Amino acid sequence: MEDYIKDSAPKTQESFSEKYLFNVPVFILEPFINDINLDLVIHKIEAVLPREFVRNVEALYIGRFDHLDDRDVNAAYKDGVIYLTNVQDDEEDIVDDIVHELAHVVEEMYGMKLYTDGRIEGEFLGKRKRLFDLLKAAGYDVSIEAFANPEYSRAFDEFLYKEIGYPALMSISAGLFISPYAITSVNEYFANGFEAYFLKNDKKHLINLSPQLYYKIEQIIENINLNRE
Q: Please check whether residues 125 and 61 belong to one and the same domain.
A: no
Count structural domains, the chain.
2
In a domain, 112, yes or no: no
Q: Please check whether residues 76 and 123 belong to one and the same domain.
A: no
> Domain range for residue 219?
117-228
In a domain, 110, yes or no: no
Q: Please check whether residues 135 and 196 belong to one and the same domain.
A: yes
Q: Which of 104, 96, 81 is nearest to 8 (CA)?
A: 81
Q: Which of 117, 81, 115 is nearest to 98 (CA)?
A: 81
Q: Please check whether residues 85 and 129 belong to one and the same domain.
A: no
Q: In what order do the strands lie in the sheet with 17-21?
A: 17-21, 24-28, 59-63, 81-85, 75-78
What whole-number distance in Å separates Cα of residue 160 and Cα of residue 73? 15
In a domain, 52, yes or no: yes
Is the CB of residue 63 less than 8 Å from the CB of residue 28? yes
In a domain, 50, yes or no: yes
CA-to-CA dists, residue 156 to 37, 78, 101, 171, 172, angstroms: 36, 22, 21, 19, 17
For the segment 77-115, what is each residue's pLDDT rounded down to a tens digit? 999 999 999 999 999 999 999 999 999 999 999 999 999
Predicted pLDDT of residue 16: 55
For the segment 126-172, what is each residue's pLDDT rounded down to a tens digit? 999 999 999 999 999 999 999 999 999 999 999 999 999 999 999 99
In a domain, 99, yes or no: no
In a domain, 102, yes or no: no
Task: Report how far apart the first and last C-alpha atoms of the chain are (Å, whole number).
Answer: 42
Q: Please check whether residues 154 and 57 belong to one and the same domain.
A: no
What whole-number distance in Å separates Cα of residue 187 and Cα of residue 80? 17
